[in-house]
Amino acid sequence: MSSSPPVPAAPPAPASAQLALPALSSLTLREKIAQLLNVGFRGCHPAECALALRDIREHGIGGVILFDQEMVDGSAGRRNIESPTQVRDLLAHFQAHARIPLLTSIDQEGGRVNRLKPAYGFPASISHEELGRLDDPAATVRHATTIAQTLASVGLNLNLAPVVDLDAHPDNPIIKGKRRSFSADPEAVARLAADYIRAHRAQGVLTCLKHFPGHGSATGDTHLGLVNVTATWTDRELIPFQRLIAAGLCDMIMSAHVFNAHLDPERPATLSRAVITGILREQLGYTGVITSDDMEMKAISSHYGLEHSLPLAINAGIDVLCFGNNLSYDPDIAPRALDILERAVTSGLIPESRINESCTRVLALKRRAGLLT
């Protein structure tokens, strides 16, 4: 049996990690808004990443998200990942230019959703579904530890995982179809996810539960268009979130772009105050960071323009807006989003108190991650 590539050694913390937590009053409105943006980019080496560096240095974005493949226009070319050394050097360069240290994120669930592949020199991984079949805490911890060590070794501090959607529909193309669910049993999902999260925390890596309030019962893919779960969703899908919130194991939660008329008759979850604030904040008692799924997925972008969707998401209770910049590519997505949100605040469409709440949560998460003192 061939062995997996070894996990690279962790690099020293960047100098920016020694910065103190900034007072909210010391930041301008635009600087506070910038902390709410997580932006994808093109390039593997600093010389290729002039636009990402502009967004970090000039616009002060709060985070970056990495992909291994370029997916615009159906192509599958090179994106941000070539090797462990390359990723480590790139992220160290980014952090060195950030006034406030960055959240550096990736979708490294294991199995098919796996950006750090063995082909690039990273260890192999297995899917949530395979871990669910094993149903062995030691195996879950072992595999999750390898993932977390791999991320930490190259300067990635946030894994956009685990998936806590239920294996709730046999025709689900994006959860069941890609083996991303631990189980159909919500208690098993919560238990396996807890082990996965604890293994990451032991390596100093943040995690993100996804996709609230549940994507497992869907029969469509929100990357491609509107997905209506009104007839298939049940409140059993909330149980993993409920259990992990109660256990204090939620660093971040990602919203789903699914539409459920029983929860909100007008808007998909990401844009719904009834879902994000009413259910997640008030009913389940979650006080941490909530990130959107990619705002460029067609469930949002085909039905709402940025001018409409970004204020709706913030007013719904979303703290971090994710722009993968990979389903479509806009070199100026960061300044565009900043302009839209700044106008929305100055016009009174978004209360500045909402920006302050979200920025406070993001900075507190960075402090917990050891990025700020």
Q: What percent of the chain has pLDDT over 90?
A: 86
Which of the four pLDDT bands, split at 50, 70 and 90, describes residue 75? low
Among the options 223, 251, 294, 319, which is catalytic?
A: 223
Q: Over range 74-79, report the average pLDDT.
A: 70
Q: Report yes or no on 27 lying in a domain.
A: no
Other Cβ atoms less than 10 A from the Cβ of 81: the count is 23
Domain boundaries, position 244: 39-368
Distance CA 319, CA 186 (A): 26
116: domain CATH number is: 3.20.20.300
pLDDT, one tens digit per residue, over 119-171 is: 999 999 999 999 999 999 999 999 999 999 999 999 999 999 999 999 999 99
pLDDT, one tens digit per residue, over 296-324 is: 887 788 888 899 999 999 999 999 999 99
Q: Report yes or no on 15 lying in a domain.
A: no
Which of the four pLDDT bands, split at 50, 70 and 90, describes residue 226? confident
Contact by Cβ (8 Å): 158, 105: yes
Determine the pLDDT at residue 12. 38
Q: What percent of the chain has pLDDT over 70?
A: 94
Which two three-digit tokens encode residue 111?
């199995």
pLDDT, one tens digit per residue, over 117-132 is: 999 999 999 999 999 9
Active site residue 293: yes
Q: What's at 112, amino acid-wise?
A: R
Q: Which residues contact 52 (CB under 8 A, 6 or more apart)?
A: 39, 41, 42, 43, 64, 94
The yes-or-no verdict on residue 371 having pLDDT over 90 is yes
CA torsion, ordered 361, 365, 368, 373, to nearest 10 deg: -80
Other Cβ atoms less than 10 A from the Cβ of 347: the count is 9
List, in sequence order, the alpha helices (H) in the chain. Answer: 29-34, 50-57, 84-96, 128-134, 137-154, 186-202, 239-246, 273, 298-301, 306-316, 333-346, 352-368
Distance CA 233, CA 262 (A): 9
Which of the four pLDDT bands, split at 50, 70 and 90, describes residue 242? very high
Count of domains for the chain:
1
Q: Report yes or no on 24 lying in a domain.
A: no
Burial label, 348 (beta-carbon count in 10 A; 0-12, 13-18, 19+): exposed
Count Cβ neighbours within 10 Å for each residue of 303-327 and write b for 16 or more, e otherwise.
bbebeebbbbbbbbbbbbbbbbbbb
pLDDT, one tens digit per residue, over 186-221 is: 999 999 999 999 999 999 999 999 999 999 999 977
Q: Report yes or no on 14 lying in a domain.
A: no
Q: Report yes or no on 33 lying in a domain.
A: no
The yes-or-no verdict on residue 1 having pLDDT over 70 is no
Look up residue 83 and give its DSSP letter.
-
Contact by Cβ (8 Å): 94, 39: no
The rounded Cα 95 to chain-centroid distance in angstroms is 18
Among the options 55, 264, 293, 319, which is catalytic?
A: 293
Distance CA 265, CA 272 (A): 10
Mean pLDDT of the chain: 93
Determine the pLDDT at residue 221. 78
Which of the four pLDDT bands, split at 50, 70 and 90, describes residue 8? very low
DSSP codes of every residue in 335-347: HHHHHHHHHHHHT
Determine the pLDDT at residue 4. 42
Q: Report yes or no on 34 lying in a domain.
A: no
Q: Report yes or no on 299 lying in a domain.
A: yes
Distance CA 134, CA 216 (A): 20
